[in-house]
Amino acid sequence: MSNKTLVMKFGGTSVGSVDALKSATQIIRDAKRDWERVVVVTSAMSGVTNLLLDSAMLAAQGKVDSLPATESTLKEKHFAAAEALIQNVELRERTKQEISDLIFILVDLCNAMSVLGEASPRAMDTVASLGERMSVRLLAAIVDDAGVKARAVTSTEFVVTNNHFQNAHPDFKATAEKTRALLNPLMDEGIVPITTGFIGATPEGTITTLGRGGSDYSAAIIGAVLPADDVWIWTDVDGVMTTDPRIVPNAITLPEINYSEIAELAYYGAKVLHPKTIRPVLDAGIGLRICNTFNPSHPGTRLIAAVKSNGKVDGKVVKAVTAIRKQKLVTIEGRGMLGVPGVAARAFAAVASTGTSVPLITQASSEQSICFAVPSEVADSVVATLEKAFASEIADDDIDRVWATEDVSIVTVVGAGMRHAIGVAGRVFSQLGNNGVNVLAIAQGSSEVSISLVVDAADTENGVKALHELIVGAG
């Protein structure tokens, strides 16, 4: 056996049904045959995290009427899988009881939130953690029942984070020590640790989450600290594709992608990989592969250090297209801005004070306006904060106004080969123009592997489809 340690992460759909769990179990069995040590990281069953968070939000508004329905949905979902896939009666009943206990915690928490009338980020993280705490027990029991020695482990015991609830940052040093101490003895005994993605805990033991979709990141953290040789992300599509196949059905799999390309894609909205996943595997020099639970013989996508030759796929420099929806463009404008020092620095400091990160910035050379994108839901508070920060400039008419657009989307084309190619931006513009998509703003990524265009929300799908034709099809 030449291969040593493999970390495999299963996403929500990959553990979301009886069929998916069957396939995941077979994948784990095969991996255990080929690899000396295997760690499995699992998401909550699909839909569960949303259901949990929705229940908590409603509870905080005093609405607990739908709680009994939520309770039975969660039971049905997990119990149906337990009944179909755990033959050992004792193990099955024990697993169901553990899941019931977790659902009971949800009910308790929601009732408490309804009394308090508030949903603090800290309480929301405890609620959100329940999905993975249920799925991990279910999957471990199913795998163990299928004859592959497995043990459920909750990552709050070894992923140590700060207390930035809902977007916690791991302490890699503390996490490394705890992860090795907990997982290595299990693996020495030939047991597959099956652990929760998405969640961690502060040094004091309070539950945190790594942000929505954060199970990918969990797999990368665990892979980096063990360290593992390879991290495989099992999802519901054949790897990283030229665009979201839900928007463009003829999207094709990219067999290879480099670090900067995947980083841009993930950052600009491709849900297939959480953007924070890349850094730990890159730093630790670990392999990363994205593959399909429902088509396991497909090789999927491999992350590679550098693109070969000029990075072109079939002679095309644009490799993939992606979109982030529900953004607004905020503009600060006024002719008097020309002489005012540090406007941009002050503007972004003010935005940062609201806890908002800005995915895209453009500034006209005339210095008469600064324009940037923020998520729609925070646009009003960002505008209010800016108006306050520039109150005296507004009073002096140096700044005319600060305003936000209606909803827009950021559509991004990605490809490392664009760095050396001439005329890509022109082709991108004319492709959009020919398809009736108006471009509101443009920005080029500093790494020059991406160009982002802001379009009206209504133009998102057409924009993505049109640009995808530059890769596959007519363009």
Site of interaction with ligand ADP (CB under 6 A): 11-14, 43, 213, 235-237, 240-241, 243-246, 270-272, 320, 322
The enclosing H or E element of 346 equals helix 343-353
Look at residue 156 and give the partner it binds from ligand ASP, Mg ion, ligand ADP, none, a contact being a CB closer than 5 to 8 Å depending on partner kind: none
Q: Which is nearer to Mg ion, 214 or 311 (CB)?
A: 214
Q: Which is nearer to ligand ASP, 145 or 244 (CB)?
A: 244
Please give the residue whose beta carbon sits closest to ligand ADP in the complex. 11
Look at residue 198 and give the partner it binds from ligand ASP, Mg ion, ligand ADP, none, a contact being a CB closer than 5 to 8 Å depending on partner kind: ligand ASP
Both tokens of 369, joined, read 């306006």
**Of residues 330-389, which lie at the interface with ligand ASP (CB under 6 A)?**
none
Neighbours of 232 (CB within 10 A): 21
- The DSSP 8-state label assigned to residue 402 in this structure reads E
Q: Which is nearer to ligand ASP, 49 or 450 (CB)?
A: 49
Q: Which is nearer to ligand ADP, 12 or 359 (CB)?
A: 12
- CB of 214 vs ligand ASP, minimal distance in Å: 5
Q: Which is nearer to ligand ASP, 165 or 198 (CB)?
A: 198
**Of residues 1-40, which lie at the interface with ligand ASP (CB under 6 A)?**
11-12
- Which listed residue (5, 23, 25, 43) binds ligand ASP by CB under 6 A? 43
The enclosing H or E element of 195 equals strand 192-196
Look at residue 320 and give the partner it binds from ligand ADP, Mg ion, ligand ASP, none, a contact being a CB closer than 5 to 8 Å depending on partner kind: ligand ADP
Terminal Cα distance for the chain, rounded: 47
Judged by the rule CB under 5 A, the positions of this chain that interact with Mg ion are 11, 213
Q: Which residues pair with 42 in a beta bridge?
A: 10, 196
SS3 356: coil
Look at residue 424 and give the partner it binds from Mg ion, ligand ASP, ligand ADP, none, a contact being a CB closer than 5 to 8 Å depending on partner kind: none
Look at residue 308 and give the partner it binds from ligand ASP, ligand ADP, Mg ion, none, a contact being a CB closer than 5 to 8 Å depending on partner kind: none
DSSP notation for 13-43: GGGSSHHHHHHHHHHHHHHHHH-SEEEEEEP
The enclosing H or E element of 152 equals strand 150-153
Stretch that binds ligand ASP, among 41-49, 185-193, 411-419, 454-462 (CB under 6 A): 41-49
CA pair distance 313, 331, nearest whole angstrom: 37
CA pair distance 87, 94, nearest whole angstrom: 12
Look at residue 22 and give the partner it binds from Mg ion, ligand ASP, ligand ADP, none, a contact being a CB closer than 5 to 8 Å depending on partner kind: none
Look at residue 165 and give the partner it binds from ligand ASP, Mg ion, ligand ADP, none, a contact being a CB closer than 5 to 8 Å depending on partner kind: none
CA pair distance 172, 276, nearest whole angstrom: 14
Look at residue 197 and give the partner it binds from Mg ion, ligand ADP, ligand ASP, none, a contact being a CB closer than 5 to 8 Å depending on partner kind: ligand ASP
Please give the residue whose beta carbon sits closest to Mg ion in the complex. 213
Please give the residue whose beta carbon sits closest to ligand ASP in the complex. 215
Q: Which residues pair with 462 in a beta bridge?
A: none
- Which listed residue (7, 28, 44, 454) binds ligand ASP by CB under 6 A? 44
Q: Helices 121-145 & 67-85, crossing angle to 10 degrees? A: 20
Give the max Cα distance, the chain: 77
**Of residues 125-154, which lie at the interface with ligand ASP (CB under 6 A)?**
131
Q: Which is nearer to ligand ADP, 39 or 60 (CB)?
A: 39
Task: Tell me the residue ranges of DSSP E strands in 334-438.
Answer: 360-363, 369-375, 401-404, 408-414
Q: Which is nearer to ligand ASP, 11 or 300 (CB)?
A: 11
- CB of 124 vs ligand ASP, minimal distance in Å: 12
- CB of 212 vs Mg ion, minimal distance in Å: 8
CA pair distance 208, 120, nearest whole angstrom: 12
- The DSSP 8-state label assigned to residue 197 in this structure reads S
Between strands 230-235 and 287-292, the pairing is parallel
Neighbours of 53 (CB within 10 A): 17
SS3 109: helix
Could you tell me how many residues make up the chain?
475
Look at residue 311 and give the partner it binds from ligand ASP, Mg ion, ligand ADP, none, a contact being a CB closer than 5 to 8 Å depending on partner kind: none
Residue 280 touching ligand ASP (CB under 6 A): no
**Of residues 166-225, which lie at the interface with ligand ASP (CB under 6 A)?**
197-198, 212-215
Look at residue 272 and give the partner it binds from ligand ADP, ligand ASP, Mg ion, none, a contact being a CB closer than 5 to 8 Å depending on partner kind: ligand ADP
CA pair distance 372, 309, nearest whole angstrom: 35
- CB of 293 vs Mg ion, minimal distance in Å: 12
| Residue 227, CA atoms < 13 Å, CB-side half-sphere | 14
Q: Which is nearer to ligand ADP, 318 or 370 (CB)?
A: 318
Q: Is residue 107 packed enough to be buried (19+ CB in 10 Å), middle (13-18) or exposed (0-12)?
A: middle
Q: Helical H runs in 65-158?
A: 67-85, 89-116, 121-145
Q: Which is nearer to Mg ion, 11 or 275 (CB)?
A: 11
Q: Which is nearer to ligand ASP, 11 or 170 (CB)?
A: 11
Footprint on this chain of ligand ASP (rule: CB under 6 A): 11-12, 43-44, 49, 131, 197-198, 212-215
